[in-house]
Amino acid sequence: MLPKRSDFPPGFLFGAATSAYQIEGHAFGGAGSTHWDTFAATPGNVVRAENGARACDHYHRWGEDLDLLQGGNFDVYRFSTSWARVMPEGRGAVNPEGLDFYDRLVDGMLERGLKPALTLYHWELPSPLADLGGWRNRDIAGWFGDFAQVVAARLGDRLWSAAPINEPWCVGWLSHFLGHHAPGMRDIRATARAMHHVLLAHGTAIGVLRSAGVKNLGAVCNFEYAQPADASPEAAAAARLYDAYYNRFFISGLFRGEYPAELMPAFAPHLPEGWQDDFATIRAPLDWFGLNYYTRKLIGPTGGPWPAHGEVEGPLPKTDMGWEIYPEGLHHFLHMARDYSGELPLFVTENGMAAPDRLAAGTVHDADRIAYLAAHLAACRRAIAEGVPLHGYFCWSLLDNYEWSLGYDKRFGLVHVDFETLRRTPKASYHALAAALQR
């Protein structure tokens, strides 16, 4: 079912991804408070008000987790550093225990023949910076640059790649317009500022990393294929607007130094003054571009205030997230990314599914996940055959983990985690991948 390593071009890299807050256990090792801790502590935001205080206890079990990556025949481990673990106040003093942890982790990867692919920020903003307005405050570009400097100085010589920020859309729109993620805002001005400042912080960090001698720098955006809910011109316009702020805003800023025109009438008044001048920083040259892809959405008009559209339930089979399975969307975005990034190497930096996994007799029969991965890997092969410069594919996720506002309910792992005992059990998908990726 799964294609084999030899079905891909020589040197094609396979990996698995995680993120700090979702697995480490934020209560350990002197990490500072983050906006996810306080968001989760506020009723109604997260299922059962669960947080990342213990998560998968990766902070203590990282050796076992790296062994799983090695045993799965993966080439790359995409992980992230927690800003509040490295700098508990977000600025100023460094927590030596935090830096030591990531130092050991990177060495542990190298010892096991794994390439360390760092993401600096995967969403756990230090609370003292949230108090200052977080992503709404233009100063975040400088604060983030300083954090990048500290991490680069300690880990930079041993990283395989580095990307500043995971999924700008989630940091911006999902967290400041829809309010589904921390800080849970619903405000268009906050959204426009956060979306622009995320890119400014990205460009600033790329400059810092580059000067520090860190190699192989990229950006990671998430994409959702937007299709009109029906054949009307109104639905077509609705899907196009959704596509503009979701799929094109960031990649267009990064590679073309402009934002999609259809967004501007409603959005431009809320962007920070002088935003056009920031593209010199935002467009800092990159070495690769990463795509995270999971699903498509059917979009139709709703009336009411801008953007006056919404999701319509689609007919395709769905994952445990309620997300339709649509591998053609990944194929579409691989081509779209190339339209922006040209011959820059592309990576699928996240792809995978949540399934209602049950542990029985020491294993999990997640045939649905194997089929999902196979279908998306087939979409990758098709794009490669058509000339798309795709150089690697990373699964989300190595472990079942803290799925943000859905708490520990949604299982995305190749490895099952029992959140009582913290025992790890590789699922059938893990074993299938390990066999397919044998060298």
> 141-168 b/e with 16+ CB inside 10 Å = b?
bebbbbbbbbbbebbbeebbbbbbbbbb
Confirm or reject binding of residue 350 to ligand FCB (CB under 6 A): yes
Binding mask 44-83 for ligand FCB (x = CB under 6 A): ----------------------------------------
Please identify, among the stretches 30-38, 162-170, 312-320, 326-334, the one whose residues bind ligand FCB according to the rule CB under 6 A: 162-170
What DSSP string describes 336-397?
HHHHHHTTS-EEEEE---------BTTB---HHHHHHHHHHHHHHHHHHHTT--EEEEEEE-
Candidates 83, 143, 412, 430; binder of ligand FCB (CB under 6 A) is 412
**Count of residues that interact with ligand FCB, criterion CB under 6 A:** 12
Shortest spacing between CB 361 and ligand FCB, in angstroms:
28
- Number of C-beta neighbours around residue 30 at 10 A: 13
Q: Of the two residues 51 and 137, which places its CB atom closer to ligand FCB in the complex?
A: 51
Radius of gyration of the chain (CA): 20
Q: Based on the residue annotation, tell me whether 111 is a catalytic residue of this protein.
A: no
Catalytic residue from among 50, 124, 167, 403: 167
CA distance 282 to 274: 13
CB of 412 vs ligand FCB, minimal distance in Å: 5
Residue 322: CB atoms within 10 Å: 9
Alpha-carbon distance 198 to 285, whole Å? Answer: 16
* Shorter beta-carbon distance to ligand FCB: residue 166 or 191: 166
**Residue 146 corresponds to which amino acid?**
D
Stretch that binds ligand FCB, among 157-165, 166-174, 378-386, 421-429 (CB under 6 A): 166-174
Using CB under 6 A, which of the segments 163-171, 203-211, 224-232, 276-284 binds ligand FCB?
A: 163-171
The upper half-sphere exposure of residue 200, i.e. CA atoms within 13 Å in the direction of its Cβ, equals 22
Out of 50, 65, 243, 403, point to the residue binding ligand FCB (CB under 6 A).
403
Site string for ligand FCB, 292-331 (x = CB under 6 A): x---------------------------------------
Give me the least distance between CB of 396 and ligand FCB, in Å please. 5
Q: Does 166 bind ligand FCB (CB under 6 A)?
A: yes
Quote the CA–CA distance of 349 and 148 in Å, as a whole number. 20
Name the active-site residue from 124, 224, 350, 403.
350
Q: How far is the CB of 377 from ligand FCB (least distance, A)?
A: 18
DSSP state of 172: I
Q: Is the dihedral of CA 412, 418, 422, 425 positive or negative?
A: negative
Whether residue 389 has a cis bond before it, omega within 30° of 0: no
> What three-state secondary structure class fits 123?
coil
Position among 95, 222, 341, 351 found at the interface with ligand FCB (CB under 6 A): 222
Of 62, 74, 347, 404, the one binding ligand FCB (CB under 6 A) is: 404
Q: Is 170 in the site for ligand FCB (CB under 6 A)?
A: yes
Among positions 24, 75, 124, 167, the unique one binding ligand FCB when judged by CB under 6 A: 167
- By beta-carbon proximity to ligand FCB, the closer residue of 292 and 341 is 292
> Residues 295, 324: contact at Cβ < 8 Å?
yes
Pick 121 or 412: Cβ nearer ligand FCB: 412
Among 59, 101, 396, 408, contact with ligand FCB (rule: CB under 6 A):
396
Least spacing, CB of residue 19 vs ligand FCB, in Å: 5
Tokens encoding 269 = 């008044």
Are the C-beta atoms of 235 and 243 separated by less than 8 Å?
no
The crossing angle, in degrees rounded to 10, of helices 428-436 and 367-385 is: 30
403 has catalytic annotation: no
Catalytic residue list? 167, 350
Site residues for ligand FCB per CB under 6 A: 19, 22, 166-167, 170, 222, 292, 350, 396, 403-404, 412
